[in-house]
Amino acid sequence: MTTATTAVAPTPEAATRPRRRRHLLSSADLSLPEIREILDTAAEMHEVQRRDVKKLPTLRGRTVVNLFFEDSTRTRSSFEIAGKWLSADVINVSGKGSSTSKGESLRDTVLTVAAMGVDALVIRHGASGAAHQVSQWVDAHVVNAGDGMHEHPTQALLDAYTMERRLGSLEGRHVAIVGDLTHSRVVRSNLITLGRLGARVTLVAPPTLMPAGIGAWSQSDGFALSHDLDEVLPGVDVVMMLRVQRERMSGGFFPTPREYTVGYGLTRDRLRTLVAANPEAVICHPGPMNRGLEIAADAADAAQSLILEQVSAGVAVRMSVLYHLLAGSDERPGHDHEGGES
């Protein structure tokens, strides 16, 4: 992560504020005060969503390019809406419709887009580390909107925002993240962000869908691991179900979809157990959902489900992220006054 300073002489209160970030590549980039600042601004941005005229002048004259090399509904459209509500010009470039499908390299595509004078690149790519790589090639601010099986920092921020709105502080709250952990970038980012906010996390998956080397992660970050959803479920405040990512699976990670659901699905029976044990417990899912596989329709549509609230929060949190990266930085990216580094 790169930091940059503004051209304005720092005021006493600016000195206590976190330094302005150049990029958002990993959840690990954000300190607790920075997470708090983004979530607090998101709460203000959320108010805009309730207005008839949903426009702030904040990013007028700035250009944001969404560069998506993987499919997306929520993330791409929410970044687009977020940029537009802040009055930025937003352009969408998708891998399928771009010259990468004619063999152009990622570097050439990115340099081509950046050469048009864009201020921020929001990138989703199937390769882990792609966003970081892109940030080394361009002067523009870079936001990681999901890189392979690595990270998805804005998803973790919007998840935390949604949980906090319902539960208050996450300090000491117990969050279970359940399902296809091996292929999930959401889990890595959530572990970091939830950990910084003081939540206790238990990861639940069948052995075949636990990431290799997770034992080492577990020791370093102090979260728990389980293969038994029924044991964990009654003690949680939040159960976050993750999608079974069949497009990233090459072999058999579980015998049949039915067996997966029996072991690890949030079924109607498990919903009953969850609510009986803790009537305030809530359900999250980053989407898209495989209804009937990792989550039953009853659970997805239950009063405890925050899934659509996550979508709504996604716009507010992404407005906040774009605001914190772009607004008020008078210097053009690449012309840091104190030589921002990566």
Residues that bind ligand NCD (CB under 6 A): 74-75, 146, 152, 155, 185-186, 243, 245, 286-287
Q: Shortest approach of ligand NCD to residue 130 CB, angstroms?
A: 13
Q: Shortest approach of ligand NCD to residue 288 CB, angstroms?
A: 6
Q: Shortest approach of ligand NCD to residue 252 CB, angstroms?
A: 19
Q: What is the DSSP string of 108-153?
A: HHHHHHHHTT-SEEEEEESSTTHHHHHHHH-SSEEEEEEETTTB-H
User: In terms of CB distance, is 6 or 245 closer to ligand NCD?
Assistant: 245
| Residues forming beta bridges with residue 284, ordered by sequence position | 240
Q: Calculate the alpha carbon distances from 202 to 199, 210, 237 in Å.
A: 10, 12, 11
Q: Shortest approach of ligand NCD to residue 279 CB, angstroms?
A: 27
Give the nearest residue (CB) to ligand NCD. Answer: 243
H helix runs in the chain, sequence order: 12-16, 32-48, 74-85, 106-115, 130-137, 153-167, 185-196, 214-221, 229-232, 257-264, 268-277, 297-300, 307-326
User: In terms of CB distance, is 152 or 173 closer to ligand NCD?
Assistant: 152
User: In terms of CB distance, is 74 or 84 closer to ligand NCD?
Assistant: 74
Q: Shortest approach of ligand NCD to residue 82 CB, angstroms?
A: 14
User: In terms of CB distance, is 29 or 336 closer to ligand NCD?
Assistant: 29
User: In terms of CB distance, is 18 or 129 closer to ligand NCD?
Assistant: 129
Phi, psi torsion values for 139, nearest 5 degrees: -85, -20
| Residues forming beta bridges with residue 67, ordered by sequence position | 93, 123
